[in-house]
Structure 1
Amino acid sequence: MCADVAQYSKLMARDEDGTLDRLKAYRSVMSSMTGRHNGRIVNTWGDAVIIEFTSVLEAVQCAVDIQNELLHRNSELPDLNKMEFRIGINLGDIMVEGDDIYGDGVNVAARLQEIAPTGGIMLSQSVYDQVKTKMALGFEPLGPQQVKNVADPVETYSVRMGGRNAPQESTTAQNADEADSPGSTSDRPNWDKDTQAVANGFEQARRWLRAQPRKVRSCVFMIGFFFILNLLTSGLSTLWFVWPSLPFAVMLVWHFVVGRREKAIDSQLPRGD
């Protein structure tokens, strides 16, 4: 598990002494939770913490307990003073040297923490596979993410926090009961639900795009630029944006199809010393 404070620099610039005191207090909470779940704090530097667990179930439960406790403590503070952590969890091989641990297993956890939502928990595929049927939690699949210093995209899942962890079957049953009850309003459009779905879609797209290489982001930006310009000048009656966007679309296809295929072939070739 890797944990890190969101917007730590801004908190330090605003109130250095108060931020340091709060960081010590919150780390004490994390240390206590870690001990309860048979974990070991491996390293701390700046505002980051790396914790090792012998059980992936204990790791995820510890992360949930930490975020819930810190959420309670933050609720008593002004918004400007709230200290929220992002947590990433990965299950993988590690190398041990003294009291420290190294390897891709640790690197992936650190990168998952970087793309985790503020106050949230991001899991790798290996963690999700172990806990999905064993814990009363909800999970949001966010798809493959290209993270720094990791060759292949990492499949990611966000833990649903804030009381949204009820099993889907219970929610479905409740909705069915409400639909059959007298005076039901199920015939009206559920605008809040639709709006939330759209917002979640935009958020997932934003995270995916942020995790892509710069050339991919540039191509998507140019295609979007031409599309918006098309809408402003011609509406949808004439879709001329396709032609100036074509070179950028070809570059995207090359990156996602040909480029990855060549990378996969290259990884299978024998390497010299």
Structure 2
Amino acid sequence: MDLEFGNYRLKRAERLLLGPKGPMVLSARSFDILAMLLERPDEVIGKTELFDAVWPGLVVEENTLQVHISALRKLLPAEMIVTVHGRGYKYAGPQPFGATAETPVLPRPSIAVLPFDNMSRDPEQDYFSDGITEDIIAELSKFREFLVIARNSSFQFRGKANDVAEVAKKLGVQYVVEGSVRKIGNRVRVTVQLIDASSTAHIWGEHYDRELDDIFAIQDEITQMIAARLARQARTAIASRARARPTDNMSAYEFYLRALQLAAVYETVLEAEPFLRQAVKLDPRFAAAHAMLSFVESMKFYWDYNNPGHLHSGLEIARTAFGLDPDEAYGHLATGFAHLYLRQFRQAEISLDRAVALNPNDPFILSIRAIHLNYTDRPAEALVEINEAQRRDPYAVGWYEDFRGIILTTTGRYREAMACYAKMATVPPWSLVRLIVCHSELGEIKQAQDVLARVKAHYPGLGLDEIVDTEVDYYEDPAVCSRYRAILQRVDKEE
């Protein structure tokens, strides 16, 4: 049964918290803490009892509980959760009561920003118009009141004569933003329009003709005007969300834009590194460039699993970014990613939750949190998260199908997992191991042996245990990998 308290509703079956403005972003552990406090209102619940209920069988630092309590106080009126010093915490808000009637949830405005046309007549300037588009997408994504389509999917319509209504239908959005950029010397001309796809009516449009140094102010104004038109409740927050100027060095900014173009695609993400290093060389205080560089550095681990040094250097670069701006979402993503693959699961959760709070629409951030949920024995929540990620990037297949296949294998839904892998052009080694598990558990031994032969060919000289340790052993529960090892050994011995 759902619990209502004041203007809030805790939907226990869906593990969802609804507020006056709709769904609220809440980590799984914070949800469990809140549910426990609501079930025993006005009763002091000791820290030890909370640890045992929310982190059963795990040793967790005390400040981890404090971080989640702090997160709840930021979402709810702070006085709802009271600290009883020396004893624990208690819920002290409006009396909770069981509710069966469904509370209607207003849909969030959904929006796609199509790639701005490069009007400079120089294909080499595509990176600049693309970068402006990506920056606006990133800023709009910080408004949790909206559902914002990711760059990879909106850029499917680049360079085409698009019918707005058809684009909106394909992307599943209510609103579309179109625009163009012309950069000539130190001048930039930007035109933009916001369109209601259902009626193709122009809700708002503007034309800017300014010095290149004004590009950040232009982007902020575009973001804020769109936000004001789409969500009345967002208006009170708009003024506080204007960015500080990210850099005064326009050459550094142009290198950063080139890097964004490459980092947005899995296959080219590592090619972004030299542009980011040049950006931070030109402006050592460029926080966003340091944060993106920390992400790229950490991602190298996917290509070099035997070298955790990439994770440690990613953490170090992220610390530099945080020293300049503690709210750089990709710095928190890189930190969470590194802690996850270093098997520091609690630290990873805190960082990934923070990354999602800062940018709740970024599909890659949501995807990495989905993998973290999977590795920490919460595959059902992981499936919800990966579906949320793909809703924001409906044209992407690659990593979504890979991650969904991993999660479905964990849940024992082997046929569905295999269907995910079948959609991929190339199945990476870590998922080939899961594919062996799927075939074996479905009794398809010959197919399992064929995939095992491919894995062995990829890792000549490595034993099966070493292959599992390299590609799969990132589960908090060691029993999962023990089971996978046993399955591979059994397939290898079958005649």
TM-score, structure 2 normalization: 0.21
Task: Name which structure has the greater RCO, CA cutoff 8 Å, separation 6+.
Answer: 1
Q: Whose Rg is larger?
A: 2
